[in-house]
Amino acid sequence: MTIYDIAKKAGVSASTVSRVINNKPGVREETKKRIQQLLIKYNYSPNEAARGLVTQASKIIGILVDDIRTIHHTDGAYIIERELVKLGYCCIIFNTGTDEASKAKYINILKRRRVEGAVLIGSSFQVKAVEQAIKKYLNDTPVVMANGYLDLPNVYGILADEQNGVANCVKLLYDKGHRRPAFVIDLHTPSNLAKKAGYEQAVQSLGLGDILVYETNRTLQGGYNVTKKIMQEHPEVDGIIYAVDLLAAAGTRALLDMGISIPKQVAVIGIDNSIYAEICNPKLTSLDNKLLNLSMTAAHTLISALAGGQPNKKILIFSSIEERETT
């Protein structure tokens, strides 16, 4: 059922039908009524692709998510979607994985779909390949990075202040008498490297001795094993900060299984203050990077840019520590 079919049935031209559909003036009330009834009768729905072709407005926003195992990234995508749908946009969502080349490929797909804006969720987009792809394909399309930044005229960055956040975690441990903190990292994303830098900075400025950074993969088993390893190699450790709550959750279990009391002997801090932190028993103290806030800010930055506004190029979201039972 096209606009022409309706026009024929109504005995008018397509232009008139178009006017009615878009509620434009210049149609006699009587014909308008007649056309509206036909539109309903035949379940007419405009073809947005055709409409977008002539209006040069796809009304599509592209959302790329780097890692779907990261619960707040996927949650963030849904939050952003919800805000944009309110304005009549629709969102195409892709999970790109962490590989650079495939990210560039997805940015090209966004171009082919002629998206009006894009949101890149995850710090791993902060790489050369993405920068080049944006320059090449999304040159005059607003791009908002949720927890990342690239220095391009059309890119807006919303960043969590992770370095200071983690430094504050070390200070919290220090204030509670824990002088030998370790840090567990999984992926080497810019975000995680910032966290690590915060840990190192605080350890040095407080004079807490050697840096103790351990690596593992982002699984419960990984978090469990690395924790046992830490305690075996460095029994003097009395606090562990994990790059994500998931690992911290596994870590607390490892500590309990080793008969170590939390937080008395070893304190634990997770990062993200996700639902995991609350489900855990004992409940995790966690660095709250305000990721919900970050996603909302990303959405509204994009909305502002789409409306032709001049949003801030770079916004820093401050963190706080949600203390629970592991410190």
Out of a copy of itself, DNA, none, which partner does residue 2 contact, by CB within 5 to 8 A per kind? DNA
Considering only 21, 93, 260, 306, the residue that binds a copy of itself (CB under 8 A) is 93
101: contact with a copy of itself by CB under 8 A? no
Sheet holding 320-322, edge to edge: 213-215, 181-185, 239-242, 267-271, 285-288, 320-322
Q: Where are the beta strands (DSSP E) in 28-141?
A: 60-65, 90-95, 117-121
CB of residue 134 vs a copy of itself: minimum separation in angstroms?
A: 12
Considering only 5, 75, 322, 323, the residue that binds a copy of itself (CB under 8 A) is 75
Considering only 82, 128, 176, 314, the residue that binds a copy of itself (CB under 8 A) is 82
Using the contact rule CB under 8 A, the part of the chain among 116-124, 200-208, 248-256, 304-312 near a copy of itself is: 248-256
- Interaction residues for a copy of itself, span 121-140 (CB under 8 A): 136-137
- Interaction residues for DNA, span 32-61 (CB under 7 A): 32, 46-47, 50-51, 53-56
β partners of residue 316: 159
Task: Give the closest residue to 181 by CA, choosing from 225, 242, 271, 232.
Answer: 242
Out of DNA, a copy of itself, none, which partner does residue 164 contact, by CB within 5 to 8 A per kind? none
Pick left, alpha or beta for residue 271 (phi over 0 → left; psi -120 to 50 → alpha; otherwise beta).
beta
β partners of residue 320: 288
Distance (Å, whole) CA 131 – CA 137:
10
**How far apart are the two ends of the chain, measured CA to CA in Å?**
64
109: contact with DNA by CB under 7 A? no
Distance (Å, whole) CA 252 – CA 241:
11
Considering only 101, 213, 279, 316, the residue that binds a copy of itself (CB under 8 A) is 279
Q: What residue type is assigned to position 317 of the chain? A: I
CB of residue 101 vs DNA: minimum separation in angstroms?
A: 23
120: contact with a copy of itself by CB under 8 A? no
- Contact call for residues 202 and 170 (beta carbons, < 8 A): yes
**Judged by CB, which is closer to DNA: 51, or 283?**
51
Distance (Å, whole) CA 193 – CA 271:
13
DSSP 214-263: EE--SSHHHHHHHHHHHHHH-TT--EEEESSHHHHHHHHHHHHHTT--TT
138: contact with DNA by CB under 7 A? no
Using the contact rule CB under 8 A, the part of the chain among 112-120, 161-169, 192-200, 310-318 near a copy of itself is: 112-120
Q: What residue type is assigned to position 100 of the chain? A: E
Judged by the rule CB under 7 A, the positions of this chain that interact with DNA are: 1-4, 7, 11-16, 18-19, 21-22, 24-29, 31-32, 46-47, 50-51, 53-56
Judged by the rule CB under 8 A, the positions of this chain that interact with a copy of itself are: 43, 45-50, 52-53, 58, 60, 65, 68, 71, 74-75, 77-78, 81-82, 85, 90-95, 108-109, 111-114, 136-137, 220, 246, 249-250, 252-253, 256, 275-276, 278-282
